[in-house]
Structure 1
């Protein structure tokens, strides 16, 4: 999602509240007090309230955003910026892009997001046909140091990188031909 698309989709805090409310309803809200799954929405407070014990649950409760005073739109913008680039985002660049004045706040926000993303990745396990490959990738080293290091496969100039991917055999429904291609699974959907 680009910045322009983000601004069109989430122009204000109310649209972000609506988005997070839908996400929480889809996942299901469980009362911390009585473990009930039946809640109703309080518009004036932007919270869910348990039908039985009347315990209130905010949109940020039980998420990476819990105990944060930052608006939901700031969190959503940070999530978009951090996940939209392949090369990554530094905290300082994130602070500049969001127009936030305090580096420490952005630093904590960024590292909470990175921790949550890391935990999510550890939930997936590769099964069935797993392909493994390794490669040696050149490291960024100063020219003066590079001349002193040895050359070749075991060089200190290069880092060993291992990659594993799950693949499966696909069958064309019309011809019946079987074709081995890599399938990428994300959010439970084939892409």
Structure 2
């Protein structure tokens, strides 16, 4: 049995633990993650992408590392981006092979982050009858088309919204609570 501390990349305060057998497949870890986060993760378990929270020196990401602290606020540190640019876990592999045989990781323990979870779908609010909205969390502006605003009681015209930094954190909390 191994306890893995996981975090959903881009979602504020999303650290959670999964107790699972080492001989279990990565796919079963995805199912356990989905089950534990059913209100947050809306895609199928098969659409989750899992990455090791492995630092460049080959050790687990410590929970007090600047990259981990940014993760807890819903932000993505450059070190986290490097981790998710690396190879993702293969669903048919056992956890033992993925963690220990292929990646030579030490036994997971407390005060570490072990698995980065990335959902492949867009958030529900990003789509409308017109199609998907692209929202860049680094951008200061977001466009709403007039067809989207018509049903809201706003003026039926294209609106450019200014996104204050607090908007992103509040929106993350709202989407997480849906």
Q: Which has the bigger relative contact order, CA under 8 A and spacing at least 6?
A: 2
Same fold, TM-score > 0.5, yes or no:
no
TM range (shorter): under 0.3
Please, what TM-score do these two structures have when normalized by structure 1? Answer: 0.25
Please, what TM-score do these two structures have when normalized by structure 2? Answer: 0.26
- Give the greater-gyration-radius structure (CA): 1
